[in-house]
Chains A and B, each alone.
Chain A
Amino acid sequence: MMLDWTLLAPDEDSRDLARTARALFRTLPGAGAARAALDDGVARAALDKDAPAGDGTPVAPPAWFALVDAGYLDIAVPEDLGGLGRMIDLVVVLEEAGRSLLTAPLLPAVLAVQTQVAAGIHRPEARSAPAGFAVASGTVADGRCFADRVPVLGGVGAATLTAILRAPDRAWVVTLDAAADGVEVRQTEALIDPSRPVAVVRLAGAPSQDSQALTPADVEPVLARARVCAAADLVGIAAGALEAAVAHAVQRQQFGALIGSFQAVKHQLADAYLGVERARSLTYGAAVAVDHTGRAGGATTDGAPQLSTRDSLLAYAAAAEVAVQVAGRFIQVLGAMGVTFEADGHLYLRRAHQMTSLFGAPDDHFLAAARLERATARMKKEARTVREATR
């Protein structure tokens, strides 16, 4: 299979989209709000604090509606479901969101929507309200969901929850009304990044709205779309931290010279740049592969789902690894300022570790990709043996 690699260079439309997104995100709460949330707590960050007190239903912050109006939730959703555009378009928008430390719940909603699309249970109306997303251990029986601890990204203020619940021998993609009976919120405070909060919930027989059962082998292909989106966010986090580190290195002087002229500093930043570009290439490549596979992760004859699954694993692993590395390096380049509350270093680091803690360490994903590639190599070898035997 050969992909059209001109797709790897975002076209004029994608670049316009990225520019518009960057300009919009600059006007929405970002680093300042992320810092404030550490003092003010989760509720103020995730909900509209100025909304009139009513029946207790959470009211989404104005920034959410700006994202809906911009159409970002519709990107990479199939046209018959009211969507438009390709995964690469969504990737460039999410990268800008990561870079700007956007606090509005774009990523969790996108992860929910894309997982619904992959599982074949998406409804267009799900895109109009904030949605939480989770992957956790749990079961579904007779349309009721059971799980002890489900860390839901974007869970505070969400109208719906989308979760992949995994049992040893099977799994489910479910959507739930966040206010349904049996959805019990266990914890929303004391988070490493309250600006994009995680709510830990218990599912005690909560009824699913829609659900799709999966075999264990289906889980990774269904997750591929969400994983590419997570990778895009992480590439943005890393790129934002690198830009900020470079900005500091070209204005801070020591020993009578800009610190960016010292090889000990510039080589660290060059390595960071290489890592960001490597992860970005993998993420764009996985986005193109996911579009090629189509909406479902089901088996096809050309091995495309396997390829996009592997690519999404590699993209996530590389992006997660580089986001953690570069955020740490940014703190180092800032010197003592790097460990202060006022500097932005910890904000990037919080985001990076929020993602790796939620969705898994890079090494686990490298390992899964390696297993998949070895299985593919074995299959190819067997196919060749059969071909030769029958020649």
Chain B
Amino acid sequence: MTADVVAEFGAFLDDFLPQDYDENYQRYRRDVTLRREYQAAAFDEGWLIPEWGRDEGGRNLDGPQALAVKLLGAQRRVPRLLNIQGAGVAAPAIRAFGTPEQRERLLRPAARGDEWWALGMSEPGAGSDLASLRTTATLVDDVFIVNGQKVWTTQADEARWCTLYVRTDPQAPRHRGISCLILDLSSPGVHVRPIRTAGPAIESFCEVFLDDVRVPRESLLGPLNGGWGVAVASLEHERDMIWINTWLETNRALDPALRASEITEAQLVKLGRSLADAEGLRLTGLRTAAQRWAGISSPAWLTLKLLGSESVQRAALLSLEVAGQQALIDPAIFDERLESLGATIYGGTSEIQRDIIAERALGLPKGRS
């Protein structure tokens, strides 16, 4: 029964979270120790990725049950994972594409947050156009020799591992010459340089320089020259589930407007529109999941990234407006507004999302002119 499972998760949260978590949420959301301990405890109890098998650290829940658990987590505003892409993107990719040895060694620490992951995708010349990446890996005596540069690599300065997308066949058509390597970021020849962000970002991001880095052949993730498939599956997984987190962030950003003692009618209209954003996001996520379980295909899920990131942005802007002059002396409000502007850039820009929606949901012809 879904209700029983959800109740059990609720009891776990009651037990784990501090008594004053709701009242002092603003403080707790920056509490690094609590966030780290939450991830480990939730994973140990099988709640973090409950759809996984019991032997992998999950609870073997079906889709609806797992989604119900994650939604309750978002409703209760569980502590944000410190290294989201580890459990959220790298771990599912290792699980789907990894060898038995890779899964045995890497899966559990990635999901539990014991070992952090970075995603080595963008390059100075390859942003939205990921398939034009130029970092090369040449196989010499069962070792890949890697040369090139990655950029905008989140938490590369703190991560142990990196899913590194490299060109392994320069002759092949561009999508078919890419492979995904599991790079140990402590390898000789790897130089990581953090990039200073415009505001105090929650997560760092970095440049990664790769100079004759040696990666053993066993660290290939997925097929040789099959890296594009790994990347697409990873990003789809992210787009499929990230909405729950975005929904939480939107609601959080709406708190000030919901609680402000003074608010103008114009701001109330914006608040209403943002409520429609949040509910529209939640309901589209649920509807498309329900459709998938019922075996009906609907491309509406393709809108979740675009809708979610724009929802967060509108909510953060409203929050700043509602603060009025207080925003002048409370930089955290501006910082959130600034941070929200990244949402429509990372994980595939809104422009790319619109291309994807137009081509895959509406059947419009390819082309970017």
Binding site for B on A (CB under 8 A): 2, 5-9, 11, 15, 246, 249-250, 257-258, 260-263, 265-267, 269-271, 273-274, 277-282, 284-285, 310-311, 313-314, 317-318, 363, 365-371, 373-374, 377, 381, 384
Contact = CB atoms under 8 A, between A and B. Distances in A.
Interface string B21-64: 01000000000000000000000000000000000000000001
A258 B280 contact: no
A261 B283 contact: no
B287 A281 contact: yes
B351 interface: yes
B259 A377 contact: yes
Contacts of A317: 272-273, 276
Interface in B88-112: none
Contacts of B273: 317, 366
Most B C-beta atoms less than 10 A away, residue of A9, A277, A310: A277
Interface string B247-270: 000000000011100010100111
A273 B361 contact: yes
A369 B275 contact: yes
A271 B369 CA distance: 18
Nearest to A279: B280
Contact of B358 (A270, A366, A367): A270
Contacts of B345: none
A314 B280 CA distance: 9
Contact of A366 (B272, B300, B303): B272
Contact of A370 (B269, B351, B359): B269
B276 A278 contact: yes
Q: Give the 4 A-B residue pairs with the shortest CB-CB distance, closest first.
A: A366-B272, A261-B367, A266-B358, A9-B290
Contacts of A266: 354-355, 358-359, 362, 364
A264 B273 CA distance: 25
Contacts of B196: none
A289 B276 CA distance: 15
A317 B273 CA distance: 8
Interface in B261-297: 263, 265, 268-273, 275-277, 279-281, 283-284, 286-287, 289-291, 293-294, 296
B183 interface: no
A390 B88 CA distance: 41
Nearest to A12: B294
Contact of B294 (A6, A265, A365): A6
Nearest to A374: B258
A17 B159 CA distance: 53
A237 B257 CA distance: 32
Contacts of A263: 351, 354-355, 367-369
A15 B298 CA distance: 13
Given A273-B361, A367-B265, 10 more contacts: A6-B290, A250-B363, A273-B303, A273-B362, A277-B303, A281-B279, A281-B283, A318-B280, A369-B272, A370-B257
Given A277-B303, A314-B272, A270 B294 contact: no
Contacts of A15: 296
Interface of B: 3, 6, 22, 64, 68, 257-259, 263, 265, 268-273, 275-277, 279-281, 283-284, 286-287, 289-291, 293-294, 296, 300, 303, 306-307, 351, 353-355, 357-359, 361-369
Contacts of B365: 250, 257-258, 260-261
Contacts of A249: 364
Nearest to A361: B269
Nearest to B6: A2
Contacts of A250: 363-365
Nearest to A363: B269
A246 B362 contact: yes
Contact of A5 (B6, B287, B361): B287
Contacts of B363: 246, 250
Q: Which among B3, B258, B259 has the greatest number of chain A C-beta atoms within 10 A?
A: B258
A278 B357 CA distance: 14
A227 B19 CA distance: 41
Contact of B354 (A270, A277, A373): A270
A311 B303 contact: no
A6 B286 CA distance: 8
16 contacts: A2-B68, A5-B287, A5-B290, A8-B283, A267-B358, A269-B362, A277-B284, A280-B300, A281-B283, A282-B283, A284-B287, A367-B269, A371-B268, A373-B275, A374-B258, A384-B22
Most chain B C-beta atoms within 10 Å of own C-beta, residue among A6, A9, A11? A9
Contacts of B369: 257, 261-263
B243 to A, nearest CB: 11
A278 B284 contact: yes
Contacts of B366: 261
Contacts of B22: 384
B362 A367 contact: no
A262 B367 contact: yes
A270 B357 contact: yes
A239 to B, nearest CB: 12
A270 B280 contact: no
Contacts of A261: 364-367, 369
A284 B368 CA distance: 34
B210 to A, nearest CB: 33
A352 B357 CA distance: 24
A5 B288 CA distance: 10
Contacts of B265: 367
Contacts of B271: 366, 370, 373-374
Contact of A277 (B6, B300, B359): B300
B358 A269 contact: yes
B118 to A, nearest CB: 30
B269 A8 contact: no
> Looking at B68, B271, B366, which has the most chain A CB atoms within 10 Å of its CB?
B271
A263 B355 CA distance: 7
Contacts of A246: 362-364
